[in-house]
Every structure is written in structure tokens, then in C-alpha cells.
Chains A and B, each alone.
Chain A
Amino acid sequence: MKQIHVSEISDAVEKLCIEANYDLGADIMTGFKKALQTESSPLGREVLERLIENAAIAHEERVPMCQDTGMAVVFAEVGQDVHVVGGSLTEALNEGVRRGYEKGFLRKSVVNDPFERVNTGDNTPAIIHYDIVPGDKIHITVAPKGFGSENMGALKMCKPSEGLEGAMNFVVETVDKAGGNPCPPIVVGVGVGGTMEKATFLAKKALTRTLGQPNPEERLAKIEQELLERINKLGIGPQGFGGNTTALAVHLEVYPTHIAGMPVAVNINCHATRHQEVTLEGRNE
């Protein structure tokens, strides 16, 4: 059986935490530049130009783009034919977060308990989502999530009678209510179906898709496009100062659900939509 040592996993996560916070994704930069061409508000264009300038400073000077360096959300797709050796996989992922946030001078924003609220001092624990997949590799995505945007998310357990129109209305209303809070231009992750936790998971996972890459299923890609058009007619614009670039993209994921329900989850991400990923290959014993 192929093996991966926990130290290799921690090293990879450390690097991903730092890169996600210092380096704007090429997909997002392309999104900003496209938006500069289509944004009709002068204030909106100025915001986009400053965001491009900010990304350049962060990249060149090796500093975080934003002071909210987020809670570390980790998606780990673990091949069923690989053996993790040298310790606990979960601890290895947390150790990577701990080191990344310390060495990268990232802000420690995690508190120990929602009521006691004492800072844990090292930005752990991470939020870890495991998936067991075929193969002998481990694929890790680190998506640091800031809470200016996270706080604007919402879930609605829609009735099936509300249909596609009801689901779409809920998504647009959620973005409209959020206004300038989540740092537009935003990326909107939408999860529909499953159970309540499945829908919210899908909405979060959708945010890790390359910006603007449509859902491979054409009917769903059309819904994404229609939602994006409706959202960009809201007028919120970059930073909420007014304009027609409220969102850079809408990413929709769906899942089978129960005859009696239609959960709809909306997870909003700020304009940086940070995520970095790596595939670790198993080695022979």
C-alpha cells in the first residue's frame, strides 16, 4: 500500500495557508480585469483598480492581501488506497494551519468557544471536510474564509412548491440584503438539495471551483448565468458604492433531496475568494 507521512501533509498545508493569503488567484485577477471593462460606475472602476494594486503589493512584498486571514477551511480528498503514517491525519492538517499562520504572520482569528470567546492563539482548529475517494493520493484544498462574507450566508428550507423560481429569489434576496458587507464584487456559492448540512457544504465547496468555470451540466450553468445577471442588476457594485459588478460569478451545485424538501444554501465569498490546492502522491512502502 502507498504511504504518505504526516510531516509531508503539514508542510503542504503550511504553504497553502500562506500562498492563499498572499497570492490572489489568476482566475480572480482575470475576473477583476474583465469587470474593469464592463463596470459603468467610475467609483466602481476605481475600487477594482485599487484591488488589483493591493494584490500586486501583497504578492511582491509577501504580506496578506487582507487582515482577515480567515478561519482555515480544508477539503481533504483521501484516496482509499493510501496509508497515512507517522501520526494523526487531522492533527497533521491542524499542525500545518498552526505553522502557516505563525510563519506567514497571518492573523489568528479563532476563538475557543462561541460563548467564552478566548483566542486559541494559533488559528486552530481548522474546519476539515474529508472525502474518501478512489486512488492512492491525497488532494488538499485550503480555503481561508473571512467572516465579513461568511456572516452574510443564509440557508432556507424551501418548500418544493417554491420551485426553481423560489430558490433563485432566495439567492438574490440574500445577496441584496448583504449589500457592501461581504466586500463585493463577491463570488456566490449556492448549494441546493440534500439535507440542510449537505446544502451548506455544497455552497461552500462551490466556492473552490475555478472562477467562472460553469457547472458542467448545461441546465445548471444556465441557472448560474441567470442568477449572475439578476445579482448584477441589484446595483450594489464594488464595495457597495453602486455599480453593475456586484458578483464576479455564481457557482451552483445540486444534490438529490427528499420528496418533502428543497434546502437552498447561499455561501458568499469576498472578492479575493482565496483557495489553493495540492495533490500529494503516495510512495511505496
Chain B
Amino acid sequence: MKVLILGMGNPILSDDGVGLFIARKLQKSLPAVDVSTTAMAGLDILDLIMGYDQVFLVDASIAKRSGPGEVTRFGPEENGVLHLFSSHGLNFFELLRFGKALGYEMPEVGGVYGIEIGDEICFGHQLTPRLKAKAESITIKIAGDIKTRLAG
């Protein structure tokens, strides 16, 4: 089974890039799994995930359900797009349905992990110290969950 972990985020927006940072660390924990990173969204994701059997996404989140560094696993029920107003707004789960509607083999979504970041987003190549300090525990948590799901 071909499995992809896709880290998402912007490499010049500090904590927004936490998904990229964690995805690269996950490669060490899960060497048999492909890891890729992207700063793009929408249709670009389709290009990256096609050809895989299962995909796990790792991204920053401001869900405000928890404190910075906390990990939330999102599911298809999070699909809330009703009022699309910009081509920024192509929804991930909708994209999967779009791919299927066109007859493409689309991967199963193993999990979408949102890593809570603070409201204050600033430009920078590095994570803020408070998030960087939690990177190890975040990686362990997500890696553990992925391993469990792959084993199941």
C-alpha cells in the first residue's frame, strides 16, 4: 500500500509552516511512508495525492478548540464549504469528490491533523519557540496515531 504524509503550510510564515516542519520529522519515525510538503492548496493537492492508496495531511490550524501545539484530527464532517468566494477556497474533501467524479482513483484519507497555532502570524523562516518546544511531542503523537491506523 502506498501511503503519503503531506505537510502543508507556508515556509515564510513562521508557525503557519508547522505542518512542513512536523512532516519532515515524521519521515524519521515512519521511514516506509512517503513524505511530501507543499505551500499550495486547492487543486494543487490533487496533483500530489493521486497515485497513493492512503494519505495523511498535517497542517496548522486556528480552530481555537485548544491551546497552541495541541493536535486535532479533522474528518470529512469538517467540510463546511457552502459559500465559496475565492479560488483560495477549494475544499480538500470536495476535491476528493471532484477527483472521484472524474473517474480518478483517489486515496483514502487516513487523517487530517491540525496543529493549533496562535492567532499572531508573522513572517519568518522559523517556528516560534513555544511551538518548536512542542515539536517532538506533536511528532510522537501524530506518528503514533498514523502507525495505529496503518496497523488497523
A and B from one assembly? no
